[in-house]
Amino acid sequence: MSEKRFASNASIALIYRDRAQSYRRFVGQYLRYVFSSGFALLLGGLGMAGWYYYSGWIRAFPADFPLAWLALAALGPIWAFCPQRGYLQRADLVFLLPMEDRMPQYFRPMLIGGTVRQSIAVLVVWLLLYPLDRLYEAERGYDVNVLFFAAAAVVFLALKTTLYWGAFKERRIRSERVRRVFQLVRWGLAFVWGYTFVALAHSWWVLLVAGTAVLYMILLRLPARDFVHWERWVRLEQAAMSRTYTFLNAFVDLPRDEEKALPARSWLGFLGDGLPLRRERAYEYLYIKTLMRSDLLGLLFRQCLVFAALETLSTSLWLKVGLLAAGVVMTGAQLKALEREHVRVHWVHVYPLPEEWRMTAAVSVIRRAHAVCVLVLGLPLWWADAAPAAPLAAWVAGLGFVWLSSWRFAVRRR
Amino acid sequence: MRAILELENVTGGYSVGRPVLHGVSFSMKPGEMVGLIGLNGAGKSTTLKHILGLLTAHEGTIRVGGVTLQDDPGVYRSSYAYVPESPLLYDELNVSEHLRLTAMAYGVGNEAFEERTKRLYKAFQMEDKQRAMPGHLSKGMRQKVMIMNAFLSEPPLYLIDEPFLGLDPLGIRSLLERMVEMKRAGAGILMSSHILSTLETYCDRYIVLHRGRVRAQGELRAIAESAGLPDGRLEEVFFRLVQEEGSS
């Protein structure tokens, strides 16, 4: 009996491994398109430029640098961000639901693999932060040695594991509102831990994190929860696949037939609503709404934010301009994926609208969204110590690039 | 009166070597409600896909509003509204935005749009779902959105494929009332369904498809006579027609 049970548990874990492997195979077959597009080169260039800038910065580390805020910005997200791929599908509501009691075995590879991968990310961030912390503490007369590095790494990994398990338990909470509160608590804790790591004496910090982590784990036991919240796992999987498609679609044209549960983003609902009820504006309306609700918007927002932050932090005007250019190229590449939306949708062949209107509308929406990205990416140049002509010129050049690339894109697609 | 829909000797399907439809011919006049009936795989949905222009006929001609799709795609496509068997909605648009997009595509004016949407929301009890995204709607509600979109544009022809699946009783009643209203206003309605009792109550004529061919067509009395059941109900007539063919 026990042997049979063991075999069943092993097979349910195998389902997870098979699905994870299929996903890796699916993404893997398109990676060559991603790399051949110059994306890897761009990432490599950015990495090298970042490293060059970082090592130069360490050498001239300003004594009054607010390291606590940097620790908050670097450690907070890496602790709080706990992606978990369950690969659960709608059909599992029929086929796996009867085996619910064995689902912990299904999730085990995810939990172990996820903890290991994310712990490595924490260690990388700590490795980058450590030299700065050492300089910062030395300024204040404290000696920070390798033993401290190792001890801190152990605590950091314990905190990561706590939040990772917390995120897993969050997914079981029945009420959506309560789950959101716990999500907020997880992010809040991570930011507080990051900031206080530098701001507090180490002994006090250890007490604080130990106390709050225990309290967090106790609080997580309180809300009503399901053994497995199936619907939520399915929704999360759909969202994750949707993000994968959005990313890959920027480099290769992928068919996409699955149904998506997209966020309403009602705060952006006004976009497009002012368009007149005219046939020639119908596709424009469709593409504005698509951009507004797609993963692409989040992706663009994050890209703009990262590049704008890097521009703000960099001291050289040329580096700022280089980052601006990289940001403009990357956001443009991502935006092109918008045109591939609705190409295979049944309805565009049923509506009484000519196909060429679809293309024109898509390019027009892409152009306007890209122009907004250029304006946002150029903003940090305005508060740099440079003549006003420089940011103005950057904006004009960026908008010129947008116009030219959208024109070339439209010509190629025709 | 000029036919709103005409199929002349249409042979077609998904591949030229294996046609699904074989010489299908029928026509519809404005103000007519026609039931398209047949067993699973008889070719009902394939017929509708040919009319929609999603499939191209290997032979024969299809005219909507007197024109073929090749003659004038604009006139052809704006002459009908389609309700598919499974609701097909844009994941990116909420309910009210779907209606707005349809109004734009069919060139419905502002005033008509306001008046019609208000009426449709009320008729299908969807007033509180205007901002809902498709992912958060039940199948029945999604079907209601499809139906509302079809009725919003008020075209001369409605192509309706299995509209009752997933609809609640009130939704079915609202749909039937709206169809009768549109029929009285002069629209043609081609409806495919397996609910024969409802078709019998509401349709003026029937087209019985069997194995891709028109087995019988006309008013109930005409097809009943051709089945050898002069006083038969639609269900009995239909069974006789498809069983006769099957056993022959």
What would the mean pLDDT of A319-338 be, rounded to a whole number?
88
Q: Residue A61: its pLDDT value, please?
A: 80
Q: Look at residue B247 and tell me whether its pLDDT is greater than 60.
A: no
A343 shares a domain with A229: no
What would the mean pLDDT of B30-47 be, rounded to a whole number?
94
**A153 close to B (CB below 8 A):** no
Q: Could you write out the DSSP letters of every residue in A15-73?
A: HHHHHHHHHHHHHHHHHHHHHHTTHHHHHHHHHHHHHHHHHHHHHT--TT--HHHHHHH
A91 shares a domain with A161: yes
For B196-230, the pLDDT digits (tens) are 999 999 999 999 999 999 999 999 999 999 889 98
List chain A residues with CB under 8 Å of B72.
none
User: Please, which pLDDT band fits residue A412 given cuts at 50, 70 and 90?
Assistant: confident
In a domain, A16, yes or no: yes
Q: Look up tokens 């006769």; give the residue.
A: B244
A232 shares a domain with A319: no
A206 shares a domain with A144: yes
Among the residue ranges A205-214, A265-274, B211-220, the one predicted with the least confidence is A265-274
Instruction: Give the chain A residue whose CA is nearest to the CA of B111.
Output: A277
**Contact assignment for B73 to A352 by CB distance below 8 Å:** yes
Gap from B136 CA to chain A (nearest CA, Å): 7
Q: Residue A6: its pLDDT value, please?
A: 44
User: Please, which pLDDT band fits residue A30 given cuts at 50, 70 and 90?
Assistant: confident
**A269 close to B (CB below 8 A):** yes
Rounded-to-integer distance, Cα B169 and Cα B164, Å: 9
Q: Residue A8: its pLDDT value, please?
A: 57
> What percent of chain B has a predicted confidence (pLDDT) above 90?
69
**Contact assignment for A351 to B74 by CB distance below 8 Å:** no
For A115-169, the pLDDT digits (tens) are 999 999 999 999 999 998 888 888 877 777 888 999 999 999 999 999 999 999 9
In a domain, A111, yes or no: yes
A285 shares a domain with A146: no
**A278 close to B (CB below 8 A):** yes
Scored b (16 or more CB within 10 A) or e, A267-279 reads eebeebeeeebeb
User: Please, which pLDDT band fits residue A81 given cuts at 50, 70 and 90?
Assistant: very high
**Contact assignment for B100 to A351 by CB distance below 8 Å:** no
Q: Look at residue A29 and tell me whether its pLDDT is greater than 90.
A: no
Gap from B93 CA to chain A (nearest CA, Å): 6
List chain A residues with CB under 8 Å of B77.
350-353
Rounded-to-integer distance, Cα A19 and Cα A12, Å: 11
User: Residue A71 is encoded by which pair of tokens?
Assistant: 């620790």
User: Residue A390 is encoded by which pair of tokens?
Assistant: 């420089």
Q: Residue A270: its pLDDT value, please?
A: 86
For A243-259, the pLDDT digits (tens) are 888 788 777 767 665 56
User: What are the angstrom distances between the C-alpha of A367 and each of A131, A272, A335, A348, A360?
Assistant: 43, 15, 9, 22, 11
In a domain, A48, yes or no: no
Of the three residues A236, A254, A276, the one that is the final residue of a domain is A236
**A309 close to B (CB below 8 A):** no
In a domain, A270, yes or no: yes
Instruction: Give the chain B residue whose CA is nearest to the CA of A272.
Output: B97
What is the overall mean pLDDT for chain A?
86
Q: Are A223 and A174 in contact (CB under 8 A)?
A: yes
A299 shares a domain with A170: no
List chain A residues with CB under 8 Å of B110.
277
**A266 close to B (CB below 8 A):** yes
List chain A residues with CB under 8 Å of B134.
259
Gap from B52 CA to chain A (nearest CA, Å): 7
A273 shares a domain with A228: no
Q: Residue B63: its pLDDT value, please?
A: 96
List chain A residues with CB under 8 Å of B159.
none
Gap from B243 CA to chain A (nearest CA, Å): 35
User: What are the angstrom distances between the C-alpha of A137 and each of A126, A130, A144, A199?
Assistant: 15, 10, 7, 11
Instruction: Give the chain A residue whose CA is nearest to the CA of B72.
Output: A352
Q: Residue A308: its pLDDT value, please?
A: 87
Among the residue ranges A162-166, A345-349, B8-12, B148-152, the one predicted with the least confidence is A345-349
In a domain, A323, yes or no: yes
Phi, psi of A184 (to 5 degrees): -65, -40
Taking one residue from A and the other from B, the number of pairs with CB-CB distance under 8 angstroms is 91
User: Please, which pLDDT band fits residue B244 given cuts at 50, 70 and 90?
Assistant: low
Q: Residue A294: its pLDDT value, please?
A: 84
Q: Residue A302: its pLDDT value, please?
A: 84
User: Please, which pLDDT band fits residue A385 given cuts at 50, 70 and 90?
Assistant: low
Better pLDDT: B88 or B187: B187
Q: Look up tokens 């609902």; give the residue.
A: A269
Which of B205, B187, B203 shows the shortest CA–CA distance to B4?
A: B187
Q: Look at residue A7 and tell me whether its pLDDT is greater than 80.
A: no
List chain B residues with CB under 8 Å of A269.
131
A304 shares a domain with A169: no
In a domain, A80, yes or no: yes
What would the mean pLDDT of A29-54 be, rounded to a whole number?
78
Of the three residues A221, A236, A251, the one that is the final residue of a domain is A236
Q: What is the total count of domains within chain A?
A: 2
A210 shares a domain with A282: no
In a domain, A114, yes or no: yes
In a domain, A32, yes or no: no
Rounded-to-integer distance, Cα A408 and Cα B248, Å: 63
What would the mean pLDDT of A356-360 be, rounded to a whole number?
89
Among the residue ranges A149-163, A287-301, A336-350, the one predicted with the least confidence is A336-350
Q: Residue B248: its pLDDT value, please?
A: 40
List chain A residues with CB under 8 Å of B73.
352, 354
**A353 close to B (CB below 8 A):** yes
Q: Look up tokens 């844009």; give the residue.
A: B90
Q: Look at residue A334 and tell me whether its pLDDT is greater than 90.
A: no
**A248 close to B (CB below 8 A):** no
A266 shares a domain with A232: no
For B107-120, the pLDDT digits (tens) are 899 999 999 999 99
> What percent of chain A has a predicted confidence (pLDDT) above 90?
43
CA pseudo-torsion sign A314, A315, A319, A320: positive
Q: Are A353 and B105 in contact (CB under 8 A)?
A: yes
Q: Residue A258: its pLDDT value, please?
A: 58
A223 shares a domain with A306: no
Interface with A, mutate which of B71, B85, B91 (most A CBs under 10 A): B91
Better pLDDT: B121 or B53: B121
> What percent of chain B has a predicted confidence (pLDDT) above 70?
98
Residues on B contacting A at a C-beta cutoff of 8 Å: 52-54, 73-74, 76-78, 82, 84, 88, 90-94, 97, 100-110, 113, 131-136
Residue type, A190: A
Q: Look at residue B135 and tell me whether its pLDDT is greater than 90.
A: no
**Contact assignment for B84 to A345 by CB distance below 8 Å:** no
Domain that includes residue A348, residue range = 262-413
- CA angle in degrees (0–180, nearest 5) for A213-A215-A219: 115
User: Residue A203 is encoded by which pair of tokens?
Assistant: 């002994």
Q: Are A68 and A195 in contact (CB under 8 A)?
A: yes
> Of A24-38, A141-155, A241-255, A277-291, where does the model show the most confidence?
A277-291
3-state secondary structure of B59: strand
The continuous run of DSSP H or E covering A231 comes out as: helix A230-249
A75 shares a domain with A164: yes
